[in-house]
Amino acid sequence: MKKISEKVFNKKMMIITIICVAFLLTPTINAKLSLSTVSASTSRTSVDEVATVGDSIYDLLIVAPSCFVDELRPLVCHKYQVGVSTRLVTLCEVYDQMYWHGRDGAEKIKYYIKTAMDEWGIQYVLLVGNYRLMPVRYCYNADVGSGYEEPCFISELYYADIYDGCGEFSSWDANNNGIYGEWFGNVSEDPDIDLYPDVSVGRLACRNGFEVRTMVKKIIRYETSTYGSEWFNKITVIAGDTYPESLNENWTGYEGEENTLRVLENMSGFEPVKLWTSDGTLTGTRDVLRAINNGCGFLYFDGHANPYRWSTHPPNDADTWIEGLSVLSMTRLRNREKLPVCVVGGCHNLQFDVHFGKLQDDPWYYYTFIPECWGWKLTRKIGGGSIATIGCSGLGMTKEDKESFSGAGDYLEPTFFKQYGVNGIDVLGDTWAATISDYLDTYPIDWNTPAAWDYAIDAKSVQQWVLLGDPSLKIGGYSQ
Ligand SMILES: [Ca+2]
Ligand SMILES: [Ca+2]
Ligand SMILES: [Ca+2]
């Protein structure tokens, strides 16, 4: 995917002022342009064709409920100022223009994204609103027989995997029954989903205008003030013995800590801060709060979680849990403008449909009764937290869940840091997308295999990997 930094900056600067003024003077957003004249079912057009067809080319598409438009205007102006041409459309406009396309809200949004890619050449999509305000797609790649029986989970990758392998719109519903990404039986009922992202998708899971204003301020401040800051050059990694050997003789070593070492290998230019249970640097929440408050550009947790808290084990001690951070304890973070990009390994940290969303059978056990999930609270926190958080909307999968004993989160998470630290991909959504593509290159999916087995787990690993944050975010900020 083409990076923003490679774009022609000067030309865009000339039109920034004009567009910003025009935008601010426009009482309602007119997204009609030529979108409405284009069939949403046409196949992909090349970048060259886009340049001749469309009146304008946008990098970033923001889709939001109309109640958030005023709060998002400063973000649109800021994006123009840093050379990211941005189009803000309301959900009503999306539904209006996609009237004849899409069976439900999520599919209409996906058709709109496809059209915006074909017409405008957009590379980034920012969805604004939690699951009540902005539709989510539930993916039914089921963990049958795993003991947890998670039939479905939120997949934001659905909005990013626009084209199938033949360049056609990818519905994720091959058998056309309105149940997406089905994998219940001995083979997938919705096989051959491409999964490769064609656009980078992130979400601000805001519940109200106050949270939108908070996130807009955080993003603008991060992109304009982070560059050159000393704190950014640190990476904090937090882990322990994820799978105590006492439970299974194959679980030798301290899996979480081993993964943090793989991450650090990929981030050789950064000063590491290690919090491990094995050497006593991680004894509880206070250690985590202190490390984050000191400032770091990146933050990586690897262990166990639910929507409320992240924890891990000391070495070979399955009975003891060491809590790292919870929705409650993160209110004590005071890292202010020193906002890390956070990647978290664990179950359900980014299950952002908690609180009467897709309630589990036992909301008290699964912590789905809480008002906001771990990943969103950390991201939207005032006075600190993260600038963006990446993790699992469903049950986090690791190599221990696979018969082949390789891949899943153990490959996915260190690969994010490889894409940034080694390959230099420094726009957050591109890093997210490149990580997923790398995973699929390494672990191609065989859809003619049973549910809940290795290939289904590989598919789930990427399907449930959610980015809560701005996909067009310049990691480390802009130099000017
Ligand atoms: Ca289906
Ligand atoms: Ca694709
Ligand atoms: Ca172990």
Nearest Cα to Cα of residue 5 among 369, 444, 454, 425: 425
**pLDDT value of residue 22:** 44
**pLDDT value of residue 149:** 72
213 vs 210: CA distance, rounded Å: 5
Q: Write the DSSP symbol of residue 331.
A: G
Q: 383, exposed or middle or buried, with CB in 10 Å at 0-12, 13-18, 19+?
A: exposed
pLDDT digits (tens, 9 = 90+) for 410-419: 999 999 999 9
The answer, yes or no, to whether residue 164 has pLDDT greater than 80, is: yes
User: 320 alpha carbon to ligand 3 midpoint, in Å?
Assistant: 14
The answer, yes or no, to whether residue 20 has pLDDT greater than 60, is: no
Confidence of residue 161 (pLDDT cuts 50, 70, 90): very high
Answer yes or no: are the C-beta atoms of 190 and 178 closer than 8 Å: no
pLDDT digits (tens, 9 = 90+) for 34-62: 454 333 333 333 333 333 334 459 999 99
User: 350 alpha carbon to ligand 2 midpoint, in Å?
Assistant: 23
Q: 357, exposed or middle or buried, with CB in 10 Å at 0-12, 13-18, 19+?
A: middle
Residues 6+ apart with CB under 8 A from 49: none
Average pLDDT value for the chain? 89
**pLDDT value of residue 370:** 83
User: 238 alpha carbon to ligand 3 midpoint, in Å?
Assistant: 15
- Averaged over 366-391, what is the pLDDT? 93
Indicate if the alpha-carbon torsion angle 441, 446, 447, 453 is positive or negative: negative
105 vs 111: CA distance, rounded Å: 10
Strand partners, 139: 153, 180
Least confident of 148-162, 328-342, 447-461: 148-162
220 vs 328: CA distance, rounded Å: 26
Ligand whose nearest atom lies closest to the CA of 259: 3
User: 142 alpha carbon to ligand 1 midpoint, in Å?
Assistant: 12
Q: Is residue 474 part of a domain?
A: no
21 vs 76: CA distance, rounded Å: 11
Ligand whose nearest atom lies closest to the CA of 175: 1
User: 268 alpha carbon to ligand 2 midpoint, in Å?
Assistant: 32
Higher pLDDT, 276 or 5: 276
The answer, yes or no, to whether residue 16 has pLDDT greater than 80, is: no
**pLDDT value of residue 372:** 93
Looking only at the bridges linking them, the beta strands covering 153-154 and 138-141 are antiparallel
pLDDT digits (tens, 9 = 90+) for 245-260: 999 999 999 999 999 9
**pLDDT value of residue 31:** 37
User: 386 alpha carbon to ligand 3 midpoint, in Å?
Assistant: 29
- Which run of H or of E encompasses 201? strand 200-204
- Which run of H or of E encompasses 216? helix 209-225
pLDDT digits (tens, 9 = 90+) for 190-242: 999 999 999 999 999 999 999 999 999 999 999 999 999 999 999 999 999 99
**pLDDT value of residue 56:** 55
**The total number of structural domains that make up the chain:** 1
Task: Determine phi and psi for 175, rounding to 5 degrees.
Answer: -90, 5
Q: Is residue 54 part of a domain?
A: no
Ligand whose nearest atom lies closest to the CA of 433: 2
**pLDDT value of residue 367:** 78
Residue 475 to residues 86, 160, 431, 470: CA-CA distances in angstroms? Answer: 18, 20, 10, 10
Q: Is residue 263 part of a domain?
A: yes
Ligand whose nearest atom lies closest to the CA of 160: 2
In sequence order, what E strands does 257-415 have? Answer: 271-276, 298-302, 304-305, 309-312, 322-326, 341-345, 388-392
Ligand whose nearest atom lies closest to the CA of 152: 1
**pLDDT value of residue 361:** 61
Answer yes or no: are the C-beta atoms of 117 and 199 closer than 8 Å: yes
The answer, yes or no, to whether residue 114 has pLDDT greater than 80, is: yes
Ligand whose nearest atom lies closest to the CA of 188: 1
User: 149 alpha carbon to ligand 1 midpoint, in Å?
Assistant: 19
**pLDDT value of residue 39:** 34
Structure tokens at 180: 């997406």
User: 195 alpha carbon to ligand 2 midpoint, in Å?
Assistant: 5
Structure tokens at 187: 């083979």
Q: Residues 178-210, buried b or exposed e (16+ Cβ, 10 A)?
A: ebbbbbbeeebbbeebbbbbbbbbbbbbbbeee
User: 464 alpha carbon to ligand 2 midpoint, in Å?
Assistant: 16
pLDDT digits (tens, 9 = 90+) for 415-436: 999 999 999 999 999 999 999 9
Q: Is residue 354 part of a domain?
A: yes
**Considering the chain, what percentage of its residues have pLDDT values greater than 70?**
85
18 vs 7: CA distance, rounded Å: 19
Tell me, what CATH number does 419's domain have? Answer: 3.40.50.1460
User: 189 alpha carbon to ligand 2 midpoint, in Å?
Assistant: 19
- Which run of H or of E encompasses 51? helix 47-53
Nearest Cα to Cα of residue 350 among 289, 407, 395: 395
Q: Is residue 79 part of a domain?
A: no
Q: What is the DSSP string of 104-143?
A: SHHHHHHHHHHHHHHHH---EEEEES-TTTS---EEEE--
Q: Is residue 62 part of a domain?
A: no
60 vs 86: CA distance, rounded Å: 5
Residue 361 to residues 159, 438, 464: CA-CA distances in angstroms? Answer: 28, 35, 20
283 vs 107: CA distance, rounded Å: 46
User: 403 alpha carbon to ligand 3 midpoint, in Å?
Assistant: 17
Q: Residues 408-447, buried b or exposed e (16+ Cβ, 10 A)?
A: bbbbbbbbbbbbbbeeebbbbbbbbbbbbbbbbeebebeb
Indicate if the alpha-carbon torsion angle 246, 251, 254, 256 is positive or negative: negative
Answer yes or no: are the C-beta atoms of 160 and 74 closer than 8 Å: no
User: 317 alpha carbon to ligand 3 midpoint, in Å?
Assistant: 9
The answer, yes or no, to whether residue 24 has pLDDT greater than 60, is: no
The answer, yes or no, to whether residue 401 has pLDDT greater than 80, is: yes
Structure tokens at 448: 């003619």
Q: 230, exposed or middle or buried, with CB in 10 Å at 0-12, 13-18, 19+?
A: exposed
Q: Is residue 287 part of a domain?
A: yes
Answer yes or no: are the C-beta atoms of 300 and 341 closer than 8 Å: no
Task: Determine phi and psi for 282, rounding to 5 degrees.
Answer: -115, 105
Ligand whose nearest atom lies closest to the CA of 197: 2
**What residue numbers bound the domain in which 415 lies?**
213-468
176 vs 43: CA distance, rounded Å: 19
The answer, yes or no, to whether residue 4 has pLDDT greater than 70, is: no
**pLDDT value of residue 50:** 36
Confidence of residue 146 (pLDDT cuts 50, 70, 90): low
Least confident of 171-185, 187-201, 363-377: 363-377
Q: Is residue 167 part of a domain?
A: no
